[in-house]
Structures are given as structure tokens and as C-alpha cells.
């Protein structure tokens, strides 16, 4: 992912001011120690060694990485910088076309789709989605009840992927993939992972001599998967159209039956396909990863698990489905989720480009169009911002007084600016709801003494992570004051979208398009 960003040297007039790794090799560049399978973790390692800004050259591509809080704050200034569509994202256009994530900022369909889809992420819409989210969570718990009864291990990333795919499919498109009735992932997920892997590996095209031949093979591998993805989505759209259903209370209905305010323009059929693929892919990948990391940390920290469970028991009671409003009262659970996203933001990078000639940090000249990649996991480990114990899992970092004490633009799991997640509220409501339900129902056991291994695909995800479960008996805790008086979802005080107080901008994200 990171190694496909080209930043011509002429765009950074004084590159010598920016450090780079030792042992640069002629022609090949900074390839010693580079990892094609774990590029994010590789760049994080270099950020620890080289500091808040560094550059790396791979086969002629000069990439500038930024992870320091002060520099990222500058890059978040919409008057000076905007989203840059990297070569990696350009490759993903083979899958997503001019959908929200892969569209160029000046493409008409980006603004058109954003305007048409905005009503799908209002509070009113979130309230309407809540019962469906509950229903999908109950399907998951039906599977986990079986694990608890048999004493078998649950595949956490696999089950979270099934959950979030079904949630976005039902709430957004009224479609059922039948994921929980399958022992293996739905073929859509298999095709998605394989297809995206093939596309992202197109960076081999930059290899001398053999690059173009290898790239052709990757494109051939991608074609069959792409055809399956398109056919699946076309079937979803066709079934809605053939039904004569003209409702506008979900994503597909809005795209099929709504005009852009002010222009009267509609989305064309091909773009609707791209938007559906974008939401199905990104909409479940990011949230499933966030849930999986949160469950990992809860299993590794029994005292945090117990504290979060006590809050759920106290706020929700021993049984019954929580209301939409009750989800926002799980303030400590939300902090658990935020801290998991701090350490492992599932969308780990975004790129910013200069709108005009400027100077970054007072010493790094950038000409118009020069770009820098913000490495979010490294930003979230900036010791100047987060303290010396950045690797320690501590949900209380997100207590409101500590959030207010931190500089703006230092917590960026969902991108920044106008291209930040359109669905930020959706994912964090879903994830907080699911964590609360699982904590109330099960004790989570790290039966295998699991050591975290990160799978890097389109997003980050724990690999081969399983838990065993003990079904809890309903219990009603003693009444008492809410000792965790932190804000709930959408009200941390942290500017997750880079656009002002979180109260004014929804938080959480099924689609990262920043």
C-alpha cells in the first residue's frame, strides 16, 4: 500500500532535509529490510527510527511519511491541503471506480453521491438502523452460544466479518448473504479479499525488467474475482428494481430514487454499482477489524473486561435489548473501542497534497501537488502527544479531560477533512452495541495465550485470533452513580473528522474515503 505512492522529487525542493533509511541502494532505493507483506508495520518501524517525517525511495517512487502530531495538524488544514489519490487507490478504482473512496475530488459523482447519501447517516437514520443491528448481533450470539456450550473456540475476525457484512448488507441494501449459515466465508468475501489482494499487488509493475509481466498476471487473477463481485452487486440492485420498491430509507433506495439537491442529477447505474461495492467492502472491513482488536484487548486485560462488563450490567440491566439511546451511555465501553482504534486504526493511512506552494513545519518546502502520507498508527504513538507509555492499552486516555488536554488532529482513525468517513456514526454505534451485548452475555477467555499478529490487506485485522466463551447468568448489579462520566459515542470531544467538536460531526465509519 504505502510503497505505491509516487512523489516526484521536484515537488519537494529540499528533500535532503528529510531523513531516509540507511543503506540506500542505487536504482532500487530503500529496499533493504522492506516488507511487501507487512508494509504498514514496516513503515511504523522506520517512523520509530527516523522520527516524525521521513522519506523512502522504492524503484524511483519517493514517498514522504508523516506521523508527528504537529505536522499532521498542519496537513489537516483544509485551506492548505486536500486528499491525494495515491497509485494504490488508483489501482483500487478497478474495483470501486468513482465510488466515494476511490473517486477523485473533482469527479462530479463524488459530490453527487455524497449529497445524495448524506441523509442515510443522520441520527434519524441511525435510530432506524438500530433494530437491524440488534437482529444481526443476535444471529452472531446464536453462533457464539454454540461455542460456549461445546467449549469450542470462536474465530473472532471471521465472525466479526460475517456480522458486519450482514449488518451493512441489511441496513444499506435489504440483502441477506446468509453468512451465519455458512461454515466458510461467503464467496463475495472470498472474491473481495482475493481481488483486492491482486489489485494491491500491482505495485510489482514498478519492478525493473519483470514488473510488467508480473502485473499482467495479477490483472488476470483479479478479473475472475471482479466479475463475481460485479455480478453479485448487480443482482442486489436488480432485485430491488424488479420489486418496484421506491423507498428511500436505505443506501440503495437513496441512490436509485433520489436526485442531488440543487442540481436534480441522479447517480448513473454504473456508479451505483461502484457505490454498493464500496460500502459492502469498506463498510464491513473497517468495523470488523475494530471489533476484533477491541475483543483482543478485552481478553488480554481481564480487569478492563470486568470494568466494561460492570458498566453494561449497570446501564443496560441483566436482560432485554438496549434502546438506541442506551448505547451512547456505555461510556467506558466506547473508550475501550477508541483505545483499540488508537493502537490499531483499521484504515492505517491517508494522503494529503498541497493546494499551493507551502512550507510544512516551517522547514520542509512543498510545491503545489506535493503529497505526504499520514501514517495513522505511528501518529497515535507520538510520545509528545500520548506520553511515554504509548504501547500500553489504557481506555482512560479518552476521559473527557484528557481528550480536551490533547492538541487537535492527533486521533485520526477515520481520516480528515471533507473526505473523512461519511458513515462515521454508523460504525461506532454498531461496534459499541455489539461489544456491550457480547460483554453482557459472555466471559471472554484468551485460551491460546494469543500473540497479536496483524494481517494487512485493505485494512488491518488480527490474524488467527480465537476466543473461548463462558455464557454468563443474568445478574443485576447494585445501583450506584455512573463513575465513568465520559461522553458516549459521538461525544468524546475528540475531533475524529478534523472538522470541529465531535458533537457536531458524527463519529464511526463504515467507509473511509479520506
- Say whether 187 sits in a helix, a strand or coil: helix
Catalytic residue among 81, 188, 222, 414: 414
Q: What is the pLDDT along the chain (514 residues), one digit of tens a residue?
A: 333 334 555 689 888 899 999 988 887 788 887 887 898 999 999 999 999 999 998 777 789 999 999 999 999 999 999 988 776 676 677 778 888 887 887 889 989 999 999 999 999 999 999 999 999 999 999 999 999 999 999 999 999 999 999 999 999 999 999 999 988 888 888 888 887 777 766 654 544 544 556 566 666 767 778 888 899 999 999 999 999 999 999 999 999 999 999 999 999 999 999 999 888 887 788 899 999 999 999 999 999 999 999 999 999 999 999 999 999 999 999 999 999 999 999 999 999 999 999 999 999 999 999 999 999 999 999 999 999 999 999 999 999 999 999 999 999 999 998 778 777 889 999 999 999 999 999 999 999 999 999 999 878 999 999 999 999 986 665 555 454 544 443 444 344 433 333 333 333 444 444 4
User: Is beta strand 81-83 parallel, antiparallel or unpaired with respect to 349-354?
Assistant: antiparallel
From the list 86, 278, 421, 468, the catalytic residue is 421
Range list of H helices, 301-387 = 302-316, 324-327, 331-343, 376-379, 383-386
Task: Exactly one of 161, 164, 171, 286 is catalytic; name it.
Answer: 286
**Residue 72: inside a domain, yes or no?**
yes
DSSP 380-393: TT-HHHH-S-TTS-
223's CB contacts (< 8 A; 6+ apart) are none
| Residue closest to 180 by CA, chosen among 146, 149, 151, 152 | 146
Is 421 among the catalytic positions? yes
Please give the C-alpha separations between residue 349 and each of 5, 50, 228, 357, 513, in angstroms, as whole numbers.
Answer: 12, 18, 28, 23, 11
Asked whether 371 and 352 are in contact (CB, 8 A), the reply is yes
- Is 90 domain-assigned? yes
Long-range contacts of 45-53, Cβ-Cβ distance < 8 Å, separation of 24 or more: 46/21, 47/375, 47/378, 48/378, 49/21, 50/19, 50/20, 50/21, 51/19, 52/382, 53/18, 53/19, 53/360, 53/361, 53/364, 53/372
Residue 211 domain flag? no
**What CATH number did the domain enclosing 39 receive?**
3.30.43.20
Residue 33 belongs to a domain = yes
Domain count, the chain: 1
DSSP state of 179: G
Tell me whether residue 83 is in a domain: yes
DSSP 3-state assignment of 1?
coil
Q: Residue 41 is part of which domain span?
A: 1-96+347-379
Residue 383, CA distances (Å) to 68, 366, 367, 396, 443 in order: 9, 26, 29, 16, 34
Neighbours of 497 (CB within 10 A): 24
Is residue 392 domain-resident?
no
Please check whether residue 27 lies inside any domain of the structure.
Answer: yes
- Taking alpha carbons only, the member of 17, 230, 110, 219 closest to residue 514 is 110
State the Cα–Cα distance between residues 221 and 224, nearest whole angstrom. Answer: 6
Angle at 23 (CA atoms; ends 362, 359), nearest 5 degrees: 10
DSSP state, residue 29 = B
Instruction: Sort 23 into a burial class: Cβ within 10 Å, 0-12 / 13-18 / 19+.
Output: exposed
Q: Is residue 91 part of a domain?
A: yes
**Which pTM value belongs to this model?**
0.88
Q: How far is it, in rounded angstroms, from Cα 481 to Cα 489?
A: 20
Amino acid at each position: 500500500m504505502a510503497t505505491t505512492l509516487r512523489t516526484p522529487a521536484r515537488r519537494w525542493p529540499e528533500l535532503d532535509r528529510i531523513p531516509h533509511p540507511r543503506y540506500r541502494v542505487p536504482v532500487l532505493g530503500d529496499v533493504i529490510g522492506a516488507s511487501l507483506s507487512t508494509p504498514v508495520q514496516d513503515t511504523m518501524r522506520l517512523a520509530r527510527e527516523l522520527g516524525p517525517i521521513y522519506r523512502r525511495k522504492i524503484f524511483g517512487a519517493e514517498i514522504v511519511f508523516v506521523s508527528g502530531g504537529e505536522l499532521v495538524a498542519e496537513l489537516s488544514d483544509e485551506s492548505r491541503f486536500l486528499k491525494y489519490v495515491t497509485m494504490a487507490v488508483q489501482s483500487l478504482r478497478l474495483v470501486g471506480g468513482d465510488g466515494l473512496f476511490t473517486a477523485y475530488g473533482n469527479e462530479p459523482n463524488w459530490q453527487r453521491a455524497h449529497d445524495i447519501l448524506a441523509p442515510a447517516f443522520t441520527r434519524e437514520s441511525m435510530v432506524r438502523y438500530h433494530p437491524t443491528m440488534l437482529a444481526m448481533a443476535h444471529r452472531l450470539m446464536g453462533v457464539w452460544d454454540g461455542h460456549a456450550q461445546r467449549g469450542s473456540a470462536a474465530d473472532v475476525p471471521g465472525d466479526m466479518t460475517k456480522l458486519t457484512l450482514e449488518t451493512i448488507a441489511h441496513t444499506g441494501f435489504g440483502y441477506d448473504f446468509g453468512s451465519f449459515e455458512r461454515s466458510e466465508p461467503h464467496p463475495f468475501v472470498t472474491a473481495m479479499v482475493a481481488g483486492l489482494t491482486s489489485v494491491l499487488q500491482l505495485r510489482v509493475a514498478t519492478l525493473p525488467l519483470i514488473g510488467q509481466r508480473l502485473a499482467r498476471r495479477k490483472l488476470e487473477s483479479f478479473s475472475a474475482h471482479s466479475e463475481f463481485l460485479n455480478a453479485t452487486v448487480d443482482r442486489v440492485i436488480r432485485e430491488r428494481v424488479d420489486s418496484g420498491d421506491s423507498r428511500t430509507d436505505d443506501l440503495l433506495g437513496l441512490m436509485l430514487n433520489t436526485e442531488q439537491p440543487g442540481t436534480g442529477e441522479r447517480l448513473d447505474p454504473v456508479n451505483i454499482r461502484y457505490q454498493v461495492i464500496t460500502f459492502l467492502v469498506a463498510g464491513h472491513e473497517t468495523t470488523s477489524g475494530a471489533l476484533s482488536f477491541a475483543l483482543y484487548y478485552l481478553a488480554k486485560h481481564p480487569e478492563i473486561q470486568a470494568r466494561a462488563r460492570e458498566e453494561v450490567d449497570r446501564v443496560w440491566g441483566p436482560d432485554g435489548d438496549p434502546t438506541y439511546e442506551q448505547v451512547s451511555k456505555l461510556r467506558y465501553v466506547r473508550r475501550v473501542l477508541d483505545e483499540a482504534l488508537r493502537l490499531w486504526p483499521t484504515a492505517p493511512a491517508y494522503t494529503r497534497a498541497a493546494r499551493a506552494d507551502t512550507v510544512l513545519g516551517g522547514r520542509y518546502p512543498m510545491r503545489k501537488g506535493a503529497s505526504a502520507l499520514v501514517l495513522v498508527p505511528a501518529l497515535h504513538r507520538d510520545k509528545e502527544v500520548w506520553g511515554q507509555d504509548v504501547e500500553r492499552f489504557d481506555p482512560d486516555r479518552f476521559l473527557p479531560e484528557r481528550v480536551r488536554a490533547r492538541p487537535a488532529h492527533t486521533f485520526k482513525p477515520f481520516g480528515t477533512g471533507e473526505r473523512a468517513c461519511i458513515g462515521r456514526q454508523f460504525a461506532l454505534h454498531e461496534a459499541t452495541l455489539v461489544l456491550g451485548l457480547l460483554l453482557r452475555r459472555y466471559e471472554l477467555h484468551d485460551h491460546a495465550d494469543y500473540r497479536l499478529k496483524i494481517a494487512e490487506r485493505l485494512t488491518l485485522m488480527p490474524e488467527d485470533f480465537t476466543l473461548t466463551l463462558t455464557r454468563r447468568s443474568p445478574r443485576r448489579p447494585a445501583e450506584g452513580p455512573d463513575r465513568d462520566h465520559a461522553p458516549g459515542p459521538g461525544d468524546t470531544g475528540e475531533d475524529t473528522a478534523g472538522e470541529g467538536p465531535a458533537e457536531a460531526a458524527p463519529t464511526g465509519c463504515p467507509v473511509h474515503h479520506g
